[in-house]
Structure 1
């Protein structure tokens, strides 16, 4: 079972980063791979159990469900419901922590999933680099533009 763990430090306070990440339907505004996103059944994007349906810029469509969200701990978890990628049982966790030296943010993003053995290395690399590292880099650019 692949286990992807990535983390970074952002030069912004956790409150500013959390404001962007806690919107489960907001990743189309900052992640470079996401073209559009909507929450099904017009539910609130912070309601546990809500499902976001989004399209990637390559035309692929995915659905993910919010499993947990804590403003106090600045964490959320979600799972993948539908994807064209041969990836199953995907569950991810995001956590922000303050770095008090400079009022910065430590961002931890991890997931576990199953896939065919022959796909494990390429899918693990795609999740780590295209999704997680791509997200880190995009948030970093977004924070610089809005500063």
Structure 2
């Protein structure tokens, strides 16, 4: 099983950062490569099992399922149901933690997956991390 990871430190508090990140249907508000999101079932996208259908800026479509939403632990986990990515069995967790000395927040985005046939783990990881970096940069523009 391969892994991808990206992280960033925010000046906004962990609670302020989490309030944005926990919105499973809110990715178009901060990810520059996602232009639309629609939830199917799951109480406005906040209930385990909810499916979000994302439309990329290039017209690509992603179907993702909310696996867990833990407000006390500030963790959101989801899995890819269908996407034009070189991965299989993708499962990801976004985790927001407080930064004690600044009052800010630390956000980590960690995924496990198997590379699709014909793709190396390094190639698949590079594709995923190339999506995480601008997403977290976009998040900085709305909460820092």
Give the TM-score normalised by structure 2: 0.92
Q: Secondary structure at the match of 1:58?
A: coil
CA RMSD after TM alignment: 1.4
Give structure 1 regions of 4+ aligned residues with deviation exceeding 3 angstroms.
none
Task: Report Cα offsets for 1:6-50 as digits up to 9, x if no partner.
Answer: 221111101111111111000011100101000014732111100
Question: 2:47 maps to which residue?
Answer: 47
1:42/1:70 CA distance change after superposition, 3 Å: closer
What 5-or-longer segments of structure 1 have no aligned partner? none
Q: Which blocks of at least 5 consecutive residues in structure 2 are unaligned?
A: none
Task: Return the alpha-carbon distance in structure 2 between the equivalents of residues 42 and 18 of structure 1.
Answer: 19
Aligned in 2, Cα 1:137/1:123: closer, same or farther, shift over 3 Å? same
Alignment map for 1:86-105 (pairs within 5 Å): 86-105=86-105
For structure 1, which segment, 117-126 or 1-10, has the greater mean C-alpha deviation from structure 2 after superposition? Answer: 117-126
Residue 78 of structure 1 corresponds to 78
TM-score normalised over the length of structure 1: 0.91
